[in-house]
Amino acid sequence: MIHLDRELEQLKKSTTAMWILVQSQIEKAYKALAANDKDLAREVIANEKRVNSMELKIDSDCEDLFALYSPVASDLRTVLATLKINTNLERIGDLAEGICKHILSEENAFDKELLKASDIQEMYDVVIEIMKDVLQAYIKEDTKLARTIFKKDEILNEINMLATKNITEYIGSDISKIEAGLNFLSIIRKLERVGDQITNIAEEIIFSHEAKVLKHL
């Protein structure tokens, strides 16, 4: 079983590397939005191929572990959790790419009034904070830290609801703002979905180490 331990450790390193890349994608997407940096947005879109490649490699590694070692108990939970974490990370990468496509679809920078009304800075700050916290929970196998994410995700949900209301009012004030407002609303919703994916990852960390399934509770 020494070989299995080594393979599991390598799997964790690969997942951590993918996590860091995906977090970088989210951070760059915000920088591109705030600065209207379309070249940076294109970089994020191009890097999505790396994210997809890493996802396929981790999936393949998990399949090999099942086939070669038939893991049981906590080792089995680790591989199962990794498969789901891998999927969640890939989806976060997709969301970062989607945000950048919205940036490229706008000829001009988004109105600063729109950025302020949506509290997008606070939303991004929370997203990055919980991504970092859940990564530490994953690396340190800290289920207590993983549980702190659920409360923070509620903050994202609250910002999302308020932003929807404020953006609707922004659009209603001037018909010429409809396209930009709808594009920006899509960005806000993608950020809220990032929070959902991170919450899913926190649940998998708890499942892996405590054998507790939190979904649908």
How do residues 14-49 score in pLDDT, each as one tens digit?
999 999 999 999 999 999 999 999 999 999 999 999
pLDDT at 117: 81
pLDDT at 164: 86
Q: What percent of the chain has pLDDT over 90?
A: 77
CA distance 19 to 24: 9
pTM for the whole structure: 0.94
State the amino acid at position 24 in one-letter form. S
pLDDT exceeds cutoff 50 at 216? no
Q: In which band, very low, low, confident or very high, does the pLDDT at 69 lie, cut at 50, 70 and 90?
A: very high
How do residues 103-161 score in pLDDT, each as one tens digit?
999 989 998 888 888 889 999 999 999 999 999 999 999 999 999 999 999 999 998 89
pLDDT at 116: 85
pLDDT at 215: 65
